[in-house]
């Protein structure tokens, strides 16, 4: 009797797992709540597993083959230095490549040119790709995600992110309209 119940329970569990695998895709839109950082390989800085409510996160996508991403690194690096004591966390998230050694070598060579958290996404189908790239419709890089109060507040590009935009975030006055007005006036 016990064995039958146990087998029944086990098969029900398996059935539930199979059903969950075919669940509808979740999307990552501006306004979506984000709590956990996807499982990635951290190459520099402390590993980040959760988004903290009182911090602002800049998740900057890059790859060793992405020329404009690399060109934007000095700009990102300068902002990272300027805002690190104001509760802004910069993450250089490597995506769309699979050679970990190549990425590691690149990051080592960059040295102080990448003075922020750096992570490697992983092989095709990795968690970051699924839950952030596919879910947000990201097909090309560079791309920058801004997170505040555990919410995605903007999907933008490195050169639209400047000091004034970060000031808005820090002051709690960020809106996409205000941020785009700043970049349009330049």
Partner 1 sequence: MTKKNKFVAILSMALIHAGLFSHAQQRDYKIQGNLDQNVAGKIYLMYSVEGNYTTDSTLVKAGAFTFTGKIDDPVFATLSLNPNVLKGKYGGIEHLDVQRFFLEGTVTKVSGGPLLKDATITGGTAQKDYQLHGAPIIPYNAKLKVLNDDVRKFKDAGNEAEVAKLEKQIEELRVLAMKNDSSFVEQHPNSFVAFTLWKNRYRGVVDPDAESGFLKFTPQIRATKSGKIMGEKIALAKKLNVGKMAPNFTLKDKDGKPVSLSDFKGKNVFLYFWYENFGSFPDFSFNLGRINRTLKDKNFVMLGVYYDINSDQGKNAWLSILTDKKMDWPNVEEVGGITADMTIPGIVAQTYGLNANTMPQAFLIGPDGKITARHLRLADKDLVSKLEALLQ
Assess 185 for contact with partner 1 (CB under 8 A). Answer: no
Applying CB under 8 A, the span of 28-36, 56-64, 120-128, 166-174 interacting with partner 1 comes to: 28-36
Assess 29 for contact with partner 1 (CB under 8 A). Answer: yes
Which one of residues 53, 137, 149, 173 is an interface residue with partner 1 (CB under 8 A)? 137
String of contacts with partner 1 for each residue 146-175, x by CB under 8 A = ---------xx-------------------
Nearest distance in Å: CB 8, partner 1: 37
String of contacts with partner 1 for each residue 33-72, x by CB under 8 A = ----------------------------------------
C-alpha 96/C-alpha 6 separation (Å) is: 44
DSSP state of 23: P
The backbone region for 147, taken as left when phi is positive above 0, alpha when psi lies in -120 to 50, beta otherwise, is beta
Nearest distance in Å: CB 59, partner 1: 15
Q: How far are the Cα atoms of 53, 82, 164 from residue 33, in angstroms, in the given order?
A: 11, 27, 24
C-alpha 62/C-alpha 14 separation (Å) is: 38
Contact set for partner 1, span 8-27 (CB under 8 A): 27
Q: How far are the Cα atoms of 2, 82, 89, 117 from residue 145, in angstroms, in the given order?
A: 52, 18, 12, 14
C-alpha 171/C-alpha 23 separation (Å) is: 39
C-alpha 24/C-alpha 29 separation (Å) is: 15
Assess 177 for contact with partner 1 (CB under 8 A). Answer: yes
- Which residues sit at the interface with partner 1, rule CB under 8 A? 27, 29-31, 137, 139-140, 155-156, 176-177, 180
């Amino acid at each position: 009797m016990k064995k039958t119940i146990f087998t029944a329970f086990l098969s029900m569990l398996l059935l539930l797992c199979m059903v969950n695998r075919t669940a509808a895709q979740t999307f990552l839109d501006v306004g979506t709540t984000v709590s956990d950082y996807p499982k990635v390989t951290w190459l520099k800085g402390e590993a980040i597993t959760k988004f903290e409510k009182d911090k602002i996160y800049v998740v900057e996508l890059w790859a060793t083959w992405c020329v404009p991403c690399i060109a934007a690194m000095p700009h990102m690096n300068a902002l990272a230095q300027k805002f690190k004591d104001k509760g802004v966390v910069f993450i250089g998230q490597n995506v769309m490549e699979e050679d970990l050694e190549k990425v590691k070598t690149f990051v080592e060579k960059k040295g102080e040119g990448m003075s922020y958290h750096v992570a490697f996404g992983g092989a095709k189908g990795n968690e970051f790709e699924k839950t952030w790239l596919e879910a947000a419709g990201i097909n090309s890089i560079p791309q920058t995600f801004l997170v505040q109060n555990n919410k995605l507040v903007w999907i933008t590009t490195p050169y639209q992110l400047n000091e004034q935009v970060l000031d808005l975030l820090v002051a709690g006055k960020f809106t996409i309209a205000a941020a785009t007005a700043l970049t349009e006036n330049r």
